[in-house]
Structure formats: C-alpha cells, structure tokens
Chain A
Amino acid sequence: MSPFETEVQLAGSGPESYFSMVIRRLLKHKLAVISLGILISILIFCFVVPLFFKYEPTYSDFSYLYGSPNSRYLFGTDNLGHDTFTRLMYGGRISLIVGFSAAILPIIFGIIVGAFAGYYGGVLDNILMRITDAFLSVPSFPIYMALAKVMGQGVINIILVFSFLGWMVDARLVRGMFLSLKENEYAEAAKAIGVSNLRIMFRHLLPNAMAPILVSVTLTVGGAILSEAGLSFLGLGVPSSTPTWGNMLTNAQQDIFIAPRLVIWPGIMIFITVLSFNFLGDGLRDAMDPRLKL
C-alpha cells in the first residue's frame, strides 16, 4: 500500500508564499484592482509628476486671477493666481501623508492595547478598556481644535493629534477579535506546545484578526484625509499657505459662486481617493482569508 493512502489531489498549483497568494487573489477582485490602479495613479500624480512640472505651488500669476482652464493652466487658477493643477499635486502629497500616518500610528497602538486587553482579560482588560472608554467619551472635534491651537498648526501635529484620539475604536475592535480568537483550539494547541503568550498573540491570533483590522485601516486613511480637510477648512489644520486638498477647499469657499471648479477639483480628488481606499480595503479583506473561495 502506498504511504499516502488517504491522499486526495489538492486543487491549485504548486506552493506559494502567503504574500503572493494575497496578491494573486487580490487581482481577481475587479473593484479592488481598479481602485489600486487609481490610487497608484494618484500617488504618481502627487509624488512623481511635480518633478517634471514647470510651476512651483507658490507661483502666482497676478495677471490671471480666477483664470479659466487654458493650455498654460490646465485646471485654471485660483484667487491668487496659483495654478490649480500644481496645487492639487502638492496638496495631495500632504493629504496622503497625513492620511496614511494618521491611520498607521493609531492602528499600531490600538492593536497593542486591544491585544493585551483581549488576550489576558481580567484586571488588565478592565483597566485598559476603562481608559479607552474615557478617551472615547471625549468629544473629539473640540479637542482637535484645542490641541491644534496649543500645539500649533503643522503636518506633524495634525498626525499626532489624530493618532492620540484615533486609537480607541481600533483597540476595541482588536480586543473583541482576540476575545473570541483566544478560545480557538489552535490557541490552546500552541499553549500545549509551549509557545509564549506574546508569540500566541502576535503570530497566531493577530494574523487571524488582520482582515477587519485592514478594513479599519483603509477606512481610517479615508477618514483621516477627510478630517484633515475638515480641520484645514476651519483654519486649524495645516497652515493655509501650504496647499492640501482641505486647504484648497477652504480657500475656495468664498469663491464658490465665482469659480465653482476650485471647489470641485479638490473635492473630486478627496472623494476618489477615499472611495478607492474603501474598495481596496474590501478586496484585501477577502484576499487575505485563504478559506474564502474567490
């Protein structure tokens, strides 16, 4: 008898790493692929195209205020004669950096808090979750405003403020995942092998909690871009001389009836970026679950 008497032919091709599996499966998700394409285009637009472009974001053409689009100024100019196309690119840099950083930092902190609270439970869970509750019951927008005033305006400060007040939802999410995941038999199996608690938490349980975390990250990126736009709109975010998509909206508000395109362009950029992140998050979540057939 063959030593592989119970063998059944397994579907699919040869072995592959987890990473390549995720990529392969992600590429099957149409909406995610389109979103990924759009996001890459936006990244190139914001970070690469300006290198080959003629205008500085601060360049003003005072002879052509509120200018309509023409061959020199593709999207026209604003109230100070800035080239809208150039400012969209440079503004996107700041908005994207803020969006990414303000999503990554709080999720890291949230994972650590949530993992310890959910895994160890008991007193530690109680302490960590009551702190989380306290943070959650703070009305965040006034605090944003106050902190922005105290710490001053600036990109770094915005990121710190968002991180400081943005980790609680992630912590709760991760705690909930860990509470249920730690009851799995494979967690007990790991314990029986002699795996340390930290390794069980971060090597066994965390990968199983990644799907909702990732979706949360992509939503937060979108949310942070929106919040930055909101704060800048109120004049509390990035200094108005620095172009961001939010600042461009702010500056355009008084001109909304004179030159509505000044509102529309940054608005569309924010909309498309946030929407693409959300679709990409959905795609990644499905791609990262090897049990799900695509």
Chain B
Amino acid sequence: MATRLVEVQKLKKWFPIKGGVFSTTVASVRAVDEVSFFIDQGETLSLVGESGSGKTTTGRTMLKLLQPTSGKIIYKGKDISKLTPNQMRPLRRNMQIMFQDPYGSLNPRMPVGDIIREPLDVHSIGTRKERQQAVATMMETVGLRPEYERRYPHEFSGGQRQRIGVARAIIINPELLVLDEPISALDVSIQSQIINLLQELQQRLNLTYLFIAHDLAVVRHMSDRVAVMYLGKIVETADNDELFDHPFHPYTQALLSAVPVPDPDVKRERIILQGDVPSPINPPSGCHFRTRCPYAMPICKEQEPAMIEVAPGHTVACHLLTRK
C-alpha cells in the first residue's frame, strides 16, 4: 500500500469581512468549508470545480500560505496546521507550488537564474559554485538554455516562464508540488508541452502532485484520483477512471457533460445547470448544491449530506444515496 504523504481533515478557510464603525467581522467568505482529502506518495490528486469553488484557496491553505481557520493538515504524520511561519520555513523545502499566472509569479526585476537559485540560497544548500551548477542543470532539465540565466522574465514567452516556475519549484527536491492551474493561462499548443514536462518530472523525481484545474480533459490525462469541489466543499472523490465513467453526484455529472467530445456524430445529453453559483458568504442551508440540483428534495434543505463510500475509494456527499 502506498504511503500517505499528506492528509487534510475538515480544513476550513473563512475570510472575514470587516465592516461597521469598529471594523467588526460582519460576515465571512467561506472559501473552504470543512474539506477533507488525502494524497499518497507519488500520485496526482486533481481538484476540479468551477471558478470560485475554493480550489486555489484549498491548495494555498494546505501549504500554509494562508492560515487555516480550523482543521488539520497532516504532513507525513505531523499536524502542520498550527505551526508558525518560522516553524514552517524548514518544511517549505518539501512542499512547493507552481502558479497559474506566468507573468505575475516571476519577479520582473530579477534575472531568471537568480529566481531559480533563490530556494537554494534561502535554505543554504550547497556552495556558491554548486548552486550555480544546479541552476544550469535545472534550466536544462526544464528545457531552457542555461545561457539565458542572466535574462529577465519579460524576455521569455508564457510557456518558457512556466518552465522557469517549474524549475524554481523543484530545484530543492520537494516531495509535494501544488500545481495551481499551471496551464490555464497558456496556448493549447504550449499546454501539452508543460503537461508532458510535469509528467516526466513526476516520474523521474517521484513527485506528488495536487493538480488544481478546470480543464477536465487534462485532468483525466494527468490524475490518479480526482476530487470535485463545489462552493467550498468536496462533493465527490474517486479514482480517475471511476469518476469519469461512473460519476454519481449530480454536480459531477453536469460538469462532465460539459466536456466537448471530438466527434460531431456523438449525441450527448447535456445537463445544463440553472442559475449561478450562490455566494460563499451566505451559502444555501443543507446541501450547498441544492439550489441548482435537478434532483433536489426537501431533505437537502434541512440536512447536510454526509460523505458515503459507494465503491472502494469512491466517496460522494449526496442525499440521493441515503434515500435508496
């Protein structure tokens, strides 16, 4: 059995909204609301869901870039959710993140060699010369010419910048890499290059990925397991094939039915959801999805559905299960 690298238990991240004369908390944005999942060593867990469902916040809170409101983050058997920023610093070697925006995530005033070398500097790894050598090797690994190390980020294309982002994230040999929509800002032709690079690196370096995305075709290609998020909650988790072949939750079904099939003759039934995602400041009672669910029942309004395992490794939170 694979070893569990990280497990998140009932993770909550609420952003307070301050207001009034004395800046008291008048409401909260429930970006992540009691989310639980785990990732085994060497696997890729994908987190999918529409914009605003809390995927990115989940990823960042897991790395403690945001302080969780409550819940546990167990990394290799140790709860890191309460650690201070200083206590977290040595652990940051093991968990890295790659960002969505290839333009915003690189400091425009730093040559790319310095950007890639910085993790080594910060964690005092190797001598000056060794670091220089490591940067050159790493640039080659991700498909960049080492001669370009004195150049500035704006001199590179979007795809190349994402390669710089990858190089910076993996130069200190992390175990866990959060990929925060790493390809959604790129051209389709460049997307596949980055995906291939990430898969190749995963194999070579035995990396564990939390892949945050909304492109389901890429998710199917990349992941071992998939978790579907809606309005701050995970509604369904399953192995890759199981989820795509037997989606259970009405939201997952709607999401999957939106994936285009490259064959004009295939007749498909599209499930079109009505309305918009409700506000995370004031989510619906009971099941968060009930306002848009085609199968909503009275109980959905009163009670929050529990996570139920419908098949090995396939869990769903829906009242349709308990009624049968």
Q: Which residues of A contact B (CB under 8 A)?
A: 3-8, 10-12, 14-18, 184-186, 188-196, 199, 204, 207-208, 210, 290-291
Contact = CB atoms under 8 A, between A and B. Distances in A.
A290 B154 contact: yes
A8 B107 contact: no
A287 to B, nearest CB: 13
Contacts, number: 98
Given A6-B160, A192-B63, A207-B109, A15 B150 contact: yes
Contacts of A290: 108-109, 152, 154
15 contacts: A3-B140, A4-B143, A6-B157, A7-B144, A10-B148, A186-B107, A189-B105, A190-B107, A192-B92, A193-B168, A194-B92, A204-B107, A208-B108, A290-B109, A291-B108
Contacts of A15: 147-151
Interface residues of B, number: 46
A180 to B, nearest CB: 12
A192 B165 CA distance: 12
The 7 closest A-B pairs by CB, nearest first: A15-B150, A194-B92, A185-B104, A185-B105, A207-B109, A186-B107, A194-B89
Given A4-B144, A7-B145, A194-B119, 12 more contacts: A6-B143, A6-B157, A6-B190, A8-B160, A184-B104, A189-B97, A189-B99, A194-B89, A194-B93, A194-B123, A204-B110, A291-B154
B147 A3 contact: no
Contacts of A10: 148, 151, 155-156
B108 A193 contact: no
Nearest to A187: B107
A4 B140 CA distance: 8
A114 to B, nearest CB: 18
Contacts of B151: 10, 15
Main secondary structure of the interface of A (DSSP, over half): loop
A18 B143 CA distance: 24
B50 to A, nearest CB: 21
B96 interface: yes
A204 B115 CA distance: 10
